[in-house]
């Protein structure tokens, strides 16, 4: 028989009796437990554990557990409202509160005032810090974001070969334009190797884009926890996206997840499908546009030809071509007119000349001797044939000739000049024309 | 070289050229003979664009880096970009 720490025979008669004499009530025991807990445990404790059996009924009821033990917990609505994230089974948390005994159910519970995520909390701080840093450096500036090509020659997709995201991109691209060329660059999208791989992929594409005729990149992966997506919050990836020479469309995680890579990228899309819709044009719409362009081209050419034809017809109708003879008519008319005038003028001139001549002739005749002779005058010529003006110039017996208007008379002077000359008539002065010019 | 250009043109560049051709004809800038030549060029460009839209890519090709880090496709078919 093993030695007992006490001698059962030596136990006091009193305590044994006391134990037999009075049994404690449940409430009494409960009160003792409560007191013991209050005494033994600090008023406020922080407990780390995994959430399980979570149920949200205004108040949060759940358990915190680790490998060997479970602790029931309750977070009343007032406190639950202040928790900045959603609780779910499997989440590692640090719950702050007090241990107490819920006597109605005989449960020791943690009454929770505050819940913080474990690990996620740290990552959250890291995310916010890097965000601020990059924002200050201008990584998120809208001005530096590049535009996307309307019709890309080739689209590079940086993602995991085995992920659903890739399939979404392929299917959507095929639906919109089966001719869109996609090139996959397979990378790890989570884990330690991911960030450097993703950065290297983007750098390589940026450097070789021209040679490969790539004009846009889709960077994508499916949903996951913040730890799963963490590679896309790493500085190395942010830098690669920032440096990239060609536009990047990023779709990481679910709609509500935002990673730094997406903030630096030129376009952020909520899902891989959305990314494909943004990058790949609708071929049917483009084909329609081409048809319209073709029609318009035909139309302007037809109009142009019509216009030319119309102009030509117009010229053909023009008198220059329709009645070319009419061009000559006015000229001919003018010629005729001019000719007529020439003739008329010439005639007039000739007539007037003749008239003048006639007039002069008459004038001449008027002042010529024949007119005078016709009036009865005559002139006498001396024997030498000179006109006789003075009787003294001839002597008796001279032969003189008298010229009459008609005919001549030969005479001999009988008597010389008489002694009484008649009144002297004025003779011609020098230069003045006489009767006989 | 001028003849080869349409085949190599990117879709959007071809589209731009077509628009300019239409404008030139519409404005009367081009004479009648030139209009016909421009029209033919325009149709050739439209056909080129249609061909780009109508092609069908066989399968997804993958880029892998070689020893020097140069990315190469596994389908060796980047002769028609």
Give me the DSSP letters along A293-325.
Answer: HHHHHHHHHHHHHHHHHHHHHHHHHSHHHH-TH
Are A185 and B57 a contacting pair at CB < 8 A?
Answer: no
Are A301 and B35 a contacting pair at CB < 8 A?
Answer: yes
Give the per-residue pLDDT at A431. 59
Give the per-residue pLDDT at A92. 87
DSSP calls for A100-117? EEETTTTEEEEEEEEEEE
Considering only the beta carbons, identify the residue of B25, B52, B53 that sits closest to A300: B25
| Contact by Cβ (8 Å): B11, A151 | yes
Q: What is the ipTM of this complex?
A: 0.82
Average pLDDT over every residue of B24-34: 83
The verdict on residue B44 lying in a domain is yes
Are A212 and B78 a contacting pair at CB < 8 A?
Answer: yes
Closest alpha carbon to A190 in A237, A133, A255, A145:
A237
User: Dihedral sign, CA of A138, A142, A144, A149?
Assistant: positive
Distance from CA of B63 to the nearest CA of A (A): 5
Are B12 and A150 a contacting pair at CB < 8 A?
Answer: yes
Query: Does the CB of B67 have a partner CB in chain A at under 8 Å?
Result: no
Average pLDDT over every residue of B18-35: 86
In eight-state DSSP terms, residue A406 is S
In eight-state DSSP terms, residue A178 is T
Sequence-ordered list of residues with C-beta below 8 angstroms from that of B10, at least 6 positions apart, any chain: A151, A153
Q: For tokens 């084909």, what's the residue?
A: A287
Q: Is the pLDDT of residue A118 over 90?
A: no
Q: For tokens 């926890």, what's the residue?
A: A225
Cβ burial of A152 (10 Å; 0-12, 13-18, 19+) is buried
Are A212 and B71 a contacting pair at CB < 8 A?
Answer: yes
How many CB pairs below 8 A link A and B? 102
Cα separations in angstroms, A105 against A32, A58, A81, A95 = 15, 20, 25, 22
Distance from CA of A222 to the nearest CA of B (A): 19
The verdict on residue B80 lying in a domain is no
Give the per-residue pLDDT at B1. 38
Average pLDDT over every residue of A213-222: 96
How far is it, in rounded angstroms, from Cα A227 to Cα A124?
10
How far is it, in rounded angstroms, from Cα A58 to Cα A378?
174
Average pLDDT over every residue of A195-208: 96
The verdict on residue B81 lying in a domain is no
The verdict on residue B78 lying in a domain is no
Query: Does the CB of B69 have a partner CB in chain A at under 8 Å?
Result: yes
CA angle, corner B30, sides to B24 and B36, nearest 5? 100
Are B46 and A290 a contacting pair at CB < 8 A?
Answer: yes
Higher-scoring residue by pLDDT: A426, A272: A272
Distance from CA of A157 to the nearest CA of B (A): 9
Share of chain A above pLDDT 90, in %: 59
- Residue A13: pLDDT band (50, 70, 90) is low
The verdict on residue B36 lying in a domain is yes
Share of chain B above pLDDT 70, in %: 83
Are A161 and B62 a contacting pair at CB < 8 A?
Answer: yes
Q: Is the pLDDT of residue B7 over 70?
A: no
| Contact by Cβ (8 Å): A293, B53 | no
Q: Is the pLDDT of residue A61 over 90?
A: yes
Q: Write down how long chain A is.
A: 437
| Contact by Cβ (8 Å): A418, A393 | no
How far is it, in rounded angstroms, from Cα A274 to Cα A172?
9
Are A293 and B46 a contacting pair at CB < 8 A?
Answer: yes
Give the per-residue pLDDT at A354. 86
* Average pLDDT over all residues of chain A: 88
Assign domain A123-141+152-281 one CATH number from 3.90.25.10, 3.40.50.720, 3.40.50.261, 3.90.550.10. 3.40.50.261
What is the location of CATH 3.40.50.261 in chain A? 123-141+152-281
Are B10 and A153 a contacting pair at CB < 8 A?
Answer: yes
pTM to 2 decimal places: 0.57
Query: Does the CB of A153 have a partner CB in chain B at under 8 Å?
Result: yes
**Chain A contacts of B58, Cβ < 8 Å?**
none
CATH of domain A25-118: 2.40.50.140
Distance from CA of A206 to the nearest CA of B (A): 11
- A157-188 core/surface letters (b: 16 or more CB in 10 A; e: else): bbbbeebebbebbbebbbebbebbbbbbbbbe
- Hey, what are A353's tokens? 């000349």
- A37-71 core/surface letters (b: 16 or more CB in 10 A; e: else): eeeeeeeeeebebbbeebeeeeebebbbeeeeeeb
Could you tell me which chain B residue has the CA closest to the CA of A175? B56
Could you tell me which chain A residue has the CA closest to the CA of B50? A287
Could you tell me which chain A residue has the CA closest to the CA of B9? A153
Could you tell me which chain A residue has the CA closest to the CA of B30? A304
In eight-state DSSP terms, residue A61 is E
Sequence-ordered list of residues with C-beta below 8 angstroms from that of A233, at least 6 positions apart, any chain: A123, A126, A127, A130, A259, A260, A261
Are A151 and B11 a contacting pair at CB < 8 A?
Answer: yes
pLDDT tens by residue, A267-291: 999 999 999 999 999 999 999 999 9
- Residue A50: pLDDT band (50, 70, 90) is very high
The verdict on residue B57 lying in a domain is yes
With a CB-CB cutoff of 8 Å, which residues 19-38 of chain B face chain A? 19, 21-22, 25-26, 28, 30, 32, 35-36
Mutate to test the interface with A, among B23, B45, B63, B69 (most CBs of A within 10 A): B63
In eight-state DSSP terms, residue A189 is -
Q: For chain B, what is the domain count?
A: 1
Instruction: Identify each DSSP E strand in A118-190 by its residue range.
Output: 154-159, 181-186
Distance from CA of B5 to the nearest CA of A (A): 16
Average pLDDT over every residue of A406-426: 76
**Chain A contacts of B19, Cβ < 8 Å?**
293
The verdict on residue B10 lying in a domain is yes
| Contact by Cβ (8 Å): A55, A80 | no
Q: Is the pLDDT of residue B81 over 60?
A: no
Higher-scoring residue by pLDDT: A328, A314: A314
**Chain B contacts of A198, Cβ < 8 Å?**
none
**Across-strand partners of A55?**
A61
Q: Is the pLDDT of residue A420 over 70?
A: no
Distance from CA of B75 to the nearest CA of A (A): 10
How far is it, in rounded angstroms, from Cα A21 to Cα A10?
19
Closest alpha carbon to A400 in A415, A384, A381:
A381
Q: Which domain covers residue B32, as residue numbers?
A: 5-73
Query: Does the CB of A342 have a partner CB in chain B at under 8 Å?
Result: no
What is the location of CATH 2.40.50.140 in chain A? 25-118
- The two beta strands, A216-221 and A181-186, are unpaired
Distance from CA of B36 to the nearest CA of A (A): 8
Give the per-residue pLDDT at A415. 85
Query: Does the CB of B15 have a partner CB in chain A at under 8 Å?
Result: yes
Mutate to test the interface with A, among B22, B66, B71 (most CBs of A within 10 A): B71
Are B81 and A308 a contacting pair at CB < 8 A?
Answer: no
């Amino acid at each position: 028989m093993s030695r007992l720490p006490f001698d059962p025979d030596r136990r006091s008669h009193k305590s044994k009796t006391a134990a037999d004499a009075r049994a404690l009530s449940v409430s009494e025991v409960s009160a003792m437990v409560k007191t013991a807990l209050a005494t033994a445990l600090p008023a406020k404790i922080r407990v780390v554990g995994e959430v399980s059996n979570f149920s949200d009924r205004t108040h949060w009821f759940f358990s915190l557990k680790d490998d060997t033990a479970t602790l029931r917990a309750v977070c009343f609505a007032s406190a639950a409202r202040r928790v900045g994230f959603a609780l779910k089974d499997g989440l590692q948390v640090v719950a702050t509160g007090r241990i107490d005994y819920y006597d109605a159910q005989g449960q020791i519970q943690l009454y929770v005032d505050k819940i913080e995520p474990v690990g996620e909390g740290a990552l959250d701080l890291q995310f916010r810090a890097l965000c601020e840093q990059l924002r200050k450096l201008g990584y998120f500036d809208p001005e530096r974001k590049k535009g996307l090509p309307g019709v890309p020659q080739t689209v590079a997709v940086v993602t995991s070969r085995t992920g659903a995201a890739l399939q979404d991109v392929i299917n959507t691209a095929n639906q919109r334009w089966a001719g869109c060329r996609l090139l996959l660059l397979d990378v790890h999208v989570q884990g330690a190797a991911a960030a450097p791989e993703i950065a290297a992929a983007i750098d390589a594409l940026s450097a070789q884009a021209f040679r490969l005729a790539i004009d846009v990149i889709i960077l994508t992966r499916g949903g996951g926890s913040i730890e799963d997506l963490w590679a896309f919050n790493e500085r190395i990836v942010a830098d690669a996206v920032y440096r990239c020479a060609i536009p990047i469309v990023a779709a990481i995680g679910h709609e509500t997840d935002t990673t730094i890579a997406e903030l630096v990228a030129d376009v952020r899309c909520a899902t891989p499908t959305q990314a494909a819709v943004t990058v790949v044009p609708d071929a049917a719409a483009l084909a329609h546009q081409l048809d319209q362009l073709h029609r318009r081209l035909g139309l302007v050419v037809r109009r142009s030809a019509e216009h030319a034809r119309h102009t030509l017809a117009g010229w053909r109708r023009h008198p220059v071509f329709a009645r070319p003879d009419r061009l000559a008519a006015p000229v001919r008319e003018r010629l005729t007119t001019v000719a007529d005038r020439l003739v008329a003028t010439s005639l007039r001139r000739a007539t007037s000349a003749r008239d003048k001549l006639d007039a002069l002739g008459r004038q001449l005749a008027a002042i010529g001797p024949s007119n005078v002779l016709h009036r009865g005058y005559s002139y006498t010529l001396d024997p030498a044939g000179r006109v006789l003006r003075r009787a003294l110039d001839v002597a008796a017996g001279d032969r003189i000739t008298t010229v009459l208007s008609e005919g001549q008379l030969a005479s001999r002077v009988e008597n010389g000049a008489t002694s009484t000359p008649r009144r002297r008539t004025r003779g011609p002065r020098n230069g003045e024309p006489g009767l006989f010019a | 070289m001028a003849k080869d250009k349409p085949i190599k043109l990117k879709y959007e560049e071809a589209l731009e050229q077509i628009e300019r051709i239409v404008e030139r004809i519409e404005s009367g800038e081009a004479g009648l003979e030139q209009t016909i030549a421009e029209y033919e060029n325009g149709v050739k460009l439209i056909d080129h664009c249609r061909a780009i839209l109508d092609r069908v890519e066989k399968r997804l090709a993958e880029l892998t880096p070689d020893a020097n880090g140069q990315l190469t496709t596994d389908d060796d078919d980047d002769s028609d970009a």
